[in-house]
Amino acid sequence: MQLTINGNSFSTSAEAASGLFGMAMGLVIFTWIICLVILIITIIGMWKVFEKAGREGWKSIIPFYNMYVLTEISGQNGWLFLLCLIPGIGALIWSIMVSIKLAPAFGKDTGFAIGLILLAPIFYMILGFGSAKYVLGGAAPAQGGAKQEPKDPWIAGN
């Protein structure tokens, strides 16, 4: 409803509230779309990482099981994924531990591990579609045909 006083037009509070509600809903929908795009990029990247490591790609889309398999791919005990069940900081600790071990498992350095921690979707895509070879489990032998050992002594078990 429009209210006109001395030639100035004003909206009622109901119209203003509906306009604000529409803007808020638009922002929520936009945020959901961005989150969905990030989720799809992460799933595609993880699928390729799983395949490079000699695992089936479909395992990357099953909640909790994908974390178990990713922990094993990084050369650690798979049950370490249970850290994610600790409220608050558990998932962050797990993510850092897996990223630090996953990078050398694919022949990458510490800088790449930091990238996996901070920008996981992008770096999973780089790892999955890039030229990196999985050197931990012998799924992809080195160019000479011999199995290449990982550079990280923790992964190598020394």
Predicted confidence (pLDDT) per residue in 11-38, tens digit:
667 676 778 888 999 999 999 999 999 9
**pLDDT of amino acid 20:** 84
| Structural domain containing residue 111 | 2-156
Is the pLDDT assigned to residue 148 strictly greater than 50? Answer: no
Q: How confident is the prediction for the chain on average, in pLDDT? A: 83
Give the least confident one: 61-70, 88-97, 117-126, 134-143. 134-143
Q: CA nearest 97: which of 135, 153, 154, 55?
A: 154
**pLDDT of amino acid 146:** 46
**pLDDT of amino acid 11:** 60
Give me the number of domains the chain comprises.
Answer: 1
Q: Classify residue 94 by burial, with Cβ atoms within 10 Å: 0-12, 13-18, 19+.
A: buried
